[in-house]
Amino acid sequence: MARLDEKSLKKHISSKKFNNIYVLFGDEKYLVKFYTKELVTAVVGKEPPEFSFHEFASLPDLNQLSAAVGAVAFMTEYNCVLVRDMNITKYSQDEYKSLLEIINNVPDTTVLIFTYPTKDGDEKAAASDDGESKGRKVSFKAFCTAVDKVGVVAEINMRSATALEHQVASWADKQGKKISLPVASRIIYCCGTDLQTLSTELSKLCAYAGDADEITADMVDKIVTKKLEAKVYDMVDNVIYDNLDKALSELYQLFAQREDPRDILRILGFSYVDLYRARVTLESGTTMKETADFFKYGGRAWVLNKATKKAERLSTNALRESISAIADLSEKFNSVSLNEEASLEKLIATLSIIARRERDYA
């Protein structure tokens, strides 16, 4: 059957019309873990009887797995077998054939679930269509193809920015707090799109809010732990909006926090590429969604939307000049010995001059 996304998997679990075999994986590990728990609960309940629930991890012994799959359900309608983070590439060809024999002969009274809540099962980069790959005898891709013929494969990836904002608002509501979607967006901007991180940071905010009914942007800026990406993007904002002193202050703070200058430069480059893509999108008359889809931004599509107003302040040529300056320093980082912190400071000043010249010309 066709692969399921989050929405269709949720509907499938609610229907209680179970298949006998599942593979759950994807970029969003929090959701993979969540839906694995939902599926197991739907099949055998929150506290399944010991004889009707069998759990394995990493690289299960195939004889033991076969025995568990063939067990008779006890006090439940189904016998449930859960395998977490199985490293399919560790099996030999003969072992893989034995595994395929198991999945092709799952009894009607058993639900076999392969889930990847902490590790990446997807070997896209190395796997080929026939299951052979560089240095590997079997591949995750081939395994999913085999399961797809007899069961359900669900790939759960990052949600859109809008969906994430509503999720954050829903979590806040469950903790007795209100939060506007723009403030929820600010949390996502600071923390990234990982749901586990967002959940943790929101819990911190709710505790900090105390008796206050609503979480504000000021609370977010005071309490939320910003990722390096958010800190660098804020620095770029100050460069573009002619606040060089603030931009340099933020750069010095990153140095004080022992952030690697090469990581700062790399993210600085990403931020200007985002600005350039947003600018070209505006000039071409296409939509940010089309650009995000073309460059495979996935759950980070919101970055382009946020770049739109800043991109309007700089011409395409100014952005090209800025990216060229960043690329030149990156090349020097990899070819000559230099004071990396001083070089980054000079680069920020150069980017500010380019942006200021643009405004003076306008």
- The 10s digit of each residue's pLDDT in 329-342 is 999 999 999 999 99
**Residue located via tokens 């016998």:** 79
Q: What is the pTM for the complete model shown?
A: 0.68
Do 256 and 128 sit in the same domain of this protein? no
- Residue 144 sits in the same domain as residue 85: yes
| 309 assigned to some structural domain | yes
**Same domain flag for 147 and 172:** no
- Domain boundary (121, 155, 189) is at 155
Q: How many domains does the chain divide into?
A: 3
Q: Are 240 and 104 members of one domain?
A: no
Looking at the structure, do residues 100 and 180 belong to the same domain, yes or no?
Answer: no
Q: What is the pLDDT of residue 121?
A: 74
CATH number at residue 336: 1.20.272.10
Whether 1 maps to a domain, the answer reads: no
Q: Are residues 122 and 176 in the same domain?
A: no
Is there a domain that residue 104 lies in?
A: yes
The 10s digit of each residue's pLDDT in 244-262 is 999 999 999 999 999 999 9
Overall average pLDDT of the 15-41 stretch: 94
Question: Looking at the structure, do residues 49 and 170 belong to the same domain, yes or no?
Answer: no
Residue 360 has pLDDT above 80, yes or no: no
Q: Angle 340-361/316-333 helices, nearest 10 degrees? A: 170
Q: Domain residues for 191? A: 161-223
CATH number for position 190 = 1.10.8.60
Position 177 in a domain: yes
* Rounded average pLDDT over 28-49: 93
Based on the fold, state whether residues 325 and 287 are members of the same structural domain: yes
Domain boundary among 138, 155, 172: 155
The verdict on 11 and 98 lying in the same domain is yes
Domain end call among 198, 223, 248: 223
